[in-house]
Amino acid sequence: MSGMSVRQRKVADRIQGLVSNVIDRKLKDPDKGFVTITHVKMSGDLRIASIYFTVLGDEEEKDRSLAALNRAKNFIRSTIAPELKMRFVPELRFFPDDTMEYARKIDELLKTIKKDDPESGV
């Protein structure tokens, strides 16, 4: 998460905690699934929060969760507003976090390479 100023990082951390809390405790949409907010990136002017999440399940589950989060965007935003204590509440944008999936695929590729390499001794 390099490249963010201290202020951006503080706001991002605060938003991550608040949004996670709202999703876990107040969002009643059954389509949300088991969502975990992995990280938040703030725009330089702090007006846009890009919120990355993972969800238990397959692509279909991920799409359902994304749709539920997008439907709840205004609810989440208005719920965290009093806690944020900022002049304006950033726009919330949700994105599936594919880093874990990417890491798993790399791991599988490495195992395949090792298996095919008689020199590796594995």
107 domain-assigned: no
**Residue-wise pLDDT tens digits, 6-51:** 999 999 999 999 999 999 999 999 999 999 999 999 999 999 999 9
DSSP string spanning 52-116?
EEEESS-HHHHHHHHHHHHHTHHHHHHHHHHHH--SSPPEEEEEE--HHHHHHHHHHHHHHHHHH
* Count of residues making up the chain: 122
The answer, as to whether pTM is greater than 0.85, is no
CATH label of the domain that carries residue 30? 3.30.300.20
The pLDDT of residue 1 is 43
Q: Using DSSP, state whether 96 is helix, strand or coil.
A: strand
17 domain-assigned: yes
Structural domain including 60 reads 6-97
111 domain-assigned: no
115 domain-assigned: no
Q: How far is CA 85 from CA 73, 74, 88, 114, in A?
A: 18, 17, 8, 53
104 domain-assigned: no
**Residue-wise pLDDT tens digits, 59-109:** 899 999 999 999 999 999 999 999 998 989 999 999 999 877 777 788 888
Report the domain count for the chain: 1
d(CA 62, CA 54) in angstroms, rounded, equals 8
120 domain-assigned: no
119 domain-assigned: no
**Number of Cβ atoms within 10 Å of the Cβ of 94:** 22
34 domain-assigned: yes
